[in-house]
Amino acid sequence: MAKVLCVLYPDPSGGYPPPLVRDGLPQLEHYPDGQTLPSPSAIDFTPGALLGSVSGELGLRRFLEDAGHELVVTADKDGDNSEFDRHLADADVVISQPFWPAYLTAERIEKAPNLKLALTAGIGSDHVDLDAAIAHGVTVAEVTYCNSISVAEHVVMMILSLVRNYLPSNRIASEGGWDISDCVSRAFDLEGMDVGTVAAGRIGLAVLRRLAPFDVRLHYTDRHRLPTEIEQELNLTFHESAAAMVPHCDVVTVNAPLHSETRGMFDDDLIATMRRGAYLINTARGLIADREAVVRALESGQLAGYAGDVWYPQPAPPDHPWRSMPNHGMTPHISGSTLSAQARYAAGTREILESFFGGTPVRDEYLIVDGGKLAGAGAHSYSKGG
Ligand code: NDP
């Protein structure tokens, strides 16, 4: 019998469950690159239901308890003597979502002698100290691709929102105004702009594909170059580094994992090389951008807008300056937790648990750390020492 400790975000303020907005979800056949969707033996939830909050339990309770395991679900994850800390001491498996991350620091991993699996219900396992996981033989896995398209759609929405000054204009309409000059004095067309992505993995490439019909010039940088056919199909300009790319862009979107190479990448120096009035969209991880540098750039007008849904720490404190800086389009960390994405990552979480408890290999594309080293998707996208 194993103890599974699951950290999820709190239930809706109006109580659980919230009303179902739509009847069911569109059926997808597979992911865009052909990767198969999560394939557990069964699911015990209704696709389209809220699964990522405490009472949603990722639809796991019946499956785990029928197999004799213990499931503890909590949102209380930070501070001394949190419920998470109390249960971690004898937990075999920890499940957490990047939206409400249970930070598995080296110190916490040290205090969890039974821990064998740290499972990210989503993508991005930077809330786990990967070096400590490697040192302690903890397997780290995530549900690769489950919400990549969800985030790509969000990026496109945020680019258009900023460039066209949508959010302030919506506010003016809601508040009874008709101040067209105030709405349009910061509004532009995206058409003809140069748009670049830092990283062209699953999300970055999906953003490029979705933006191509807008008649923009597309740029990217990545550690590995995309196949020539894709570069030609989308008319992409490749740059050796973010530093080489950003001076050529009106809009920059960040779609790389957080690790030693990307932490603090968008600092004063890099932002100073961007075009004046450029837009920066970061849905990757908050720590990839220097918090104060972003505020300074918005205040000076070096950046015309900054949007994203990722912060550090999460949840962000009420006085976090990104809540009040000018011309921002920030949201809480939501882009990868649409109800559509939740159905996929809940199913993927169950698939990984079925493999883990059944003694069969976890899909290689889900692995980040295994057998004391970076593995699978992790070996490709992360760096040791990050
Ligand atoms: P992928 O692994 O498909 O893509 C990541 C890409 O980043 C890879 O192409 C990788 O390069 C590239 N990369 C890594 N380091 C660098 C670097 N130093 N410079 C340039 N490129 C780099 O992941 P996804 O696209 O699915 O997700 C990307 C990130 O987005 C996640 O790690 C996560 O942090 C974030 N995310 C955010 C979500 C949200 O809700 N806001 C939800 C899901 C993900 P290569 O493989 O070629 O070496």
Q: Average model confidence (pLDDT) for the chain?
A: 97
What single string gives the DSSP state of each residue in 191-234?
TT-EEEEE--SHHHHHHHHHHGGG--EEEEE-SSPPPHHHHHHH
The DSSP letter of residue 104 is: B
Catalytic residue among 69, 108, 285, 344: 285
Residue position matching structure tokens 């058409």? 191
Q: How far apart are CA 336 and CA 52, in angstroms?
A: 11
With respect to residue 82, please indicate whether it lies within any of the assigned structural domains.
Answer: yes
Q: Are 259 and 236 in contact (CB under 8 A)?
A: no
255 is catalytic: no
Could you report how far apart the first and last alpha carbons of the chain are, in Å?
33
Distance 149 CA to ligand 1 centre (A): 13
Ligand 1 atom closest to residue 206's alpha carbon, by position in its atom list: 25
In tens, the pLDDT along 106-142 reads 999 999 999 999 999 999 999 999 999 999 999 999 9
Q: What share of the chain is helix, strand, coil (3-state, %, to 5)?
A: 35, 15, 45
pLDDT over 70, % of the chain: 99
With respect to residue 287, please indicate whether it lies within any of the assigned structural domains.
Answer: yes
What is the mean predicted confidence (pLDDT) over 291-306? Answer: 98
How would residue 80 be classed by pLDDT, with cut points 50, 70 and 90? confident
CA dihedral for 147, 149, 154, 159, sign (positive or negative): positive
Q: Are 89 and 66 in contact (CB under 8 A)?
A: no
314 is catalytic: yes
Ligand 1 atom closest to residue 380's alpha carbon, by position in its atom list: 46
Catalytic residue among 219, 333, 344, 350: 333
Task: Assess whether pLDDT exceeds 70 at residue 383.
Answer: no
Q: Are 52 and 45 in contact (CB under 8 A)?
A: no
Give the residue numbers spanning the domain of 17.
3-146+338-374
Q: Specify whether 306 is located in the same domain as 164.
A: yes
- Tokens encoding 237: 């300009």
With respect to residue 333, please indicate whether it lies within any of the assigned structural domains.
Answer: no
With respect to residue 77, please indicate whether it lies within any of the assigned structural domains.
Answer: yes
The angle that helices 148-163 and 166-174 make with each other, rounded to 10 degrees, is 70
With respect to residue 203, please indicate whether it lies within any of the assigned structural domains.
Answer: yes
Residue 236 is inside which H or E element, if any? strand 236-238
Q: Specify whether 264 is located in the same domain as 163.
A: yes
Task: Assess whether pLDDT exceeds 70 at residue 189.
Answer: yes
Q: Specify whether 166 is located in the same domain as 80.
A: no
Specify the CATH number for the domain of residue 80.
3.40.50.720
Q: Is the pTM of this model over 0.85?
A: yes
Ligand 1 atom closest to residue 148's alpha carbon, by position in its atom list: 26
The DSSP letter of residue 22 is: S
Q: Specify whether 136 is located in the same domain as 229.
A: no
With respect to residue 386, please indicate whether it lies within any of the assigned structural domains.
Answer: no
List, chain by chain if needed, residues with CB within 6 Å of any ligand 1 atom. 122-124, 147-148, 151, 198-204, 221-224, 255-258, 261-262, 283-285, 309-310, 333, 335-336, 377, 380-381
Q: Specify whether 277 is located in the same domain as 154.
A: yes
285 is catalytic: yes
Nearest CA among 148, 156, 259, 253 for reference residue 203: 148
In tens, the pLDDT along 138-175 reads 999 999 999 999 999 999 999 999 999 999 999 999 99
Q: Specify whether 292 is located in the same domain as 271.
A: yes
Catalytic residue among 97, 165, 302, 314: 314
How would residue 77 be classed by pLDDT, with cut points 50, 70 and 90? very high
SS3 306: strand
Alpha carbon nearest to ligand 1 atom 15, residue: 256
Q: What pLDDT is attached to residue 379?
A: 87
With respect to residue 40, please indicate whether it lies within any of the assigned structural domains.
Answer: yes
Q: Which long-range contacts (CB under 8 A, 24 or more apart) does 128-132 make?
A: 128/104, 128/368, 128/369, 129/104, 129/105, 130/368, 130/369, 130/374, 130/378, 130/382, 130/384, 130/386, 131/106, 131/384, 131/385, 131/386, 132/104, 132/105, 132/106
Q: Specify whether 299 is located in the same domain as 212.
A: yes
Q: Specify whether 316 is located in the same domain as 350.
A: no
Q: Specify whether 140 is located in the same domain as 167.
A: no
Alpha carbon nearest to ligand 1 atom 38, residue: 336
How would residue 223 be classed by pLDDT, with cut points 50, 70 and 90? very high
Q: Specify whether 125 is located in the same domain as 244.
A: no
Other Cβ atoms closer than 10 A to 327: 18
Q: Specify whether 275 is located in the same domain as 158.
A: yes
With respect to residue 343, please indicate whether it lies within any of the assigned structural domains.
Answer: yes
Distance 138 CA to ligand 1 centre (A): 22
Q: Specify whether 66 is located in the same domain as 126.
A: yes
Alpha carbon nearest to ligand 1 atom 30, residue: 284
Distance 256 CA to ligand 1 centre (A): 3
147 is catalytic: yes
Number of compact structural domains in the chain:
2
